[in-house]
Amino acid sequence: MFTATDMPFAPWYVVRTDDKRRARLNLITHLLQQIPYRQLPRAPPKLPRRQEPQGYRDPNLPLKVIPEPY
């Protein structure tokens, strides 16, 4: 299957998965290296002055908290 379907525009890669954590990290690194990236120049943002607090209250919303068993 590899020989028949491995094309320059759609290559196949094999990841050794003896150690799952390292395999995932290696795969993520490989995928990110395939994307062309260059740093873009940008100007620092101009922020307005902060407003003075005027009676702000936290909203009373139901929060969904994830349990922490460890």
| Greater pLDDT, 61 or 15 | 15
* Residue 45 banded pLDDT, cuts 50, 70, 90: very high
Instruction: Report, as an integer, the average pLDDT of 6-16.
Output: 86
Long-range contacts of 8-14 (CB under 8 A, 24+ apart): none
The pTM score is 0.50
Instruction: Report, as an integer, the average pLDDT of 44-52.
Output: 89
- Amino acid identity of 27? L
pLDDT at 65: 66
